[in-house]
Amino acid sequence: MSTRTLNGVLAVIVVLGMAGFYWHQSRGSTDSLDRLYRTSLGFGGKEPSFGVASAHPLATEVGMDVLHNGGNAVDAAIAVSYALGVVEPHGSGIGGGGTMMVYPGAGKEPTVYDYREISSYSGQTSPLAIGVPGFVKGMEAVHKDFGTRKMAELIEPSVRLASDGYSLTALDESRLENTQFRMPVRELPHMYPKGQPLKRGDILRQQELAQILELIQQEGADGFYRGSIAKELVRKAPSITLDDLARYRVLKKKPVKGRFAGYDVYAPPAPSGGIMMIQFLQVAEALKVEETKGKPSDFVHLSSEIYKCTYKDRLYKVGDPAFVQVPEEEMISKQHTLKLTKEVSRNQLSKEQKLELDSAADQEDHDNTTHFVVVDRDGMMVSATNTVSGYYGSGVYVKGFFLNNQLKNFSLSANLPNRFQPGKRPFSYTTPMILIKDGESMIGIGSAGGRKITEMVGQVLIRHLAYGQSIEDSLKGPRSYVDLANNTVVNEKTFPPKVSQTLMQRGYSKIKTDDPWAYGSVQTIRVDLRNGKLEGGADPRRDGTWRAEH
């Protein structure tokens, strides 16, 4: 199918979806509880908007189609997750895992679904660091609790995308070219015809992936974790056993909860990056980060210093709670926040000038992940981050999908809480968040970017909530991060000479710029709870799009 034909098909889908939506509207609601539910959200009985922000336009369209046809935010999130695994095979997919936060609305507490990869229960390891994938069971678990549409229906758009193909972007071309050195090119003629990577505008068709998705449609998670797919997976990744696949379990957790700019901040608990993210925001607020507005050297320096102290705190305290005791409440308490502020130097680099990068993933700078946000017309919101860790994960290809290399996120030190152990989840910076200010607004946000996620999301939220910038301007604002190993400041755009000079005077060894794809991929939606209107954004640095409709 050509790009034009595919776009035509999508247009028809949208029209049909709109028809279904207006039918839903015309039949009305006679349920007083439903009216009360809408009023309790602050919509005043009005029909609110609904929307999707994701890292790829085709995935955004898939999610909007589900919402048009009466599916809820979780239904759409499942469909978007599978679609992103097709159109962004370098960033997520059924060979990986992720974390999803579901806010049901009406003042209820969010729930976190942890379907991240784990190490083999046998203790076997491999240089490729492949973990037991959790994606498929994760989608099944969240669907069981919140789904309203049949799973097969939600996977179907991804089957079509895999079979019919889609047009590659410049980002796709770059990923294929830059990862070719470690890809099994001979096994991938659909990606590397005659040994050469596809280019921008070429159509990528993934017939083997379509067949596996059809099997999951028919047999559910068992179609992936048992039978022929499981056997082939184990053959390709001998460090994983059939028993590992059978024993894998999705975890349901309470989020950790902090405060920033008048919002309750809900983030995933350990071993995800929620504690570090909440610490970053709370320390920034305690240090009056709003005073750095219009002062780029101060903003860059303060952001870097806060990141360093939260990184260090995480390093010595955070691991998988099933294996180590993590003092979560203490780490995000007001008292501990004030303690961390004392480690931040306002005018010079802190005394402990350099920190060692703790994991192979940090050293290799894994930043290939995907984030999306969905909100439905009833006020349910989903914020989710899925990943295979490095580009195309480990590069190991199993009949249509790539296996992750998530176990490279374990600490390199055997003395730290994030050390490798059998059956353990490694630490991850992935932090799908939901922020809520009662009666006013709620925000879903997160990012790709590996060890840069904390700074990237933190900088966007500071610009939006502390500086008062629009979401669009907050996303476009130049980002920076500090290279912990050598105190190099890496900035997205060239600093004015005065800013660079000030940073060098503060002790930074070098100032440099980097390509825009190195600064995460933030997707976000903000809901005005007083009128149901949405404001959102998809990161302009990659291929993201966002849409909202009434």
Tokens in use for 216?
Answer: 């999951």
39 flagged as catalytic? no
Alpha-carbon gap, residue 66 to 147, rounded angstroms? 12
> Long-range contacts of range 461-464, CB-CB < 8 Å, 24 or more positions apart?
461/260, 461/261, 461/281, 461/435, 462/281, 462/284, 462/289, 462/299, 462/303
Q: Are 360 and 191 in contact (CB under 8 A)?
A: no
Handedness of CA 181, 184, 189, 191 (dihedral sign): negative
Which is catalytic among the residues 337, 369, 430, 524? 369
Alpha-carbon gap, residue 212 to 230, rounded angstroms? 11
Q: Are 512 and 481 in contact (CB under 8 A)?
A: no
To the nearest 5 percent, what fractions of the chain are helix, strand and coil? 40, 20, 40
Angle of helix 57-68 relative to helix 73-87, nearest 10 degrees? Answer: 150
How far does Cα 523 stand from its chain's mean position? Answer: 9
Handedness of CA 386, 391, 395, 398 (dihedral sign): positive
> What one-character-per-residue DSSP string does 454-496 give?
HHHHHHHHIIIIIS---HHHHHHS--EEEETTTTEEEESSPPP
Query: Rounded to the nearest 5°, which phi and psi values hold at 193?
Result: -60, 130
Active site residues: 369
